Amino acid sequence: MDFSNFRVYLRAFEPEDHNTTHPWREDEDIVKNIVGRKYFVSHEYERKWINDAIFDQSSVKLSICLKETKEHIGNVYLNKIDHINKNCRFGILLGNRNLWDQGIGSEAVILMLDHAFYDLGMVRVSSKQLLTNKRLRLLECGFKHEGILRKAVFKNGEYCDLNILSVIREDFDTLLKSADYM
Spans of all domains in the chain: 8-178
Q: How confident is the model at residue 132 (pLDDT cuts 50, 70, 90)?
A: confident
The answer to whether 53 touches 13, Cβ cutoff 8 Å, is: yes
Average pLDDT over residues 117-122: 97
Q: For residue 56, give the nearest of 19, 12, 87, 21 by alpha carbon.
A: 12
**Range in 20-34, 45-59, 107-121 with the lowest mean pLDDT:** 20-34
Q: How confident is the model at residue 173 (pLDDT cuts 50, 70, 90)?
A: very high
Query: Mean pLDDT score of the chain, rounded to an integer?
Result: 91
Q: Which long-range contacts (CB under 8 A, 24 or more apart) does 53-60 make?
A: 53/13, 54/12, 54/13, 54/14, 54/15, 60/112, 60/115, 60/116, 60/120
Helix, strand, coil percentages for the chain (3-state, nearest 5): 35, 35, 35
pTM attached to this predicted model: 0.92
Q: How confident is the model at residue 19 (pLDDT cuts 50, 70, 90)?
A: very high
Average pLDDT over residues 100-109: 92
Average pLDDT over residues 119-123: 97
CATH match of 8-178 with 1.10.287.3610: no
The residue ranking higher by pLDDT, 132 or 147, is: 147
Per-residue model confidence (pLDDT) at position 165: 94
Q: How confident is the model at residue 11 (pLDDT cuts 50, 70, 90)?
A: very high
Share of the chain above pLDDT 70, in %: 97
Per-residue model confidence (pLDDT) at position 181: 63
Per-residue model confidence (pLDDT) at position 92: 93
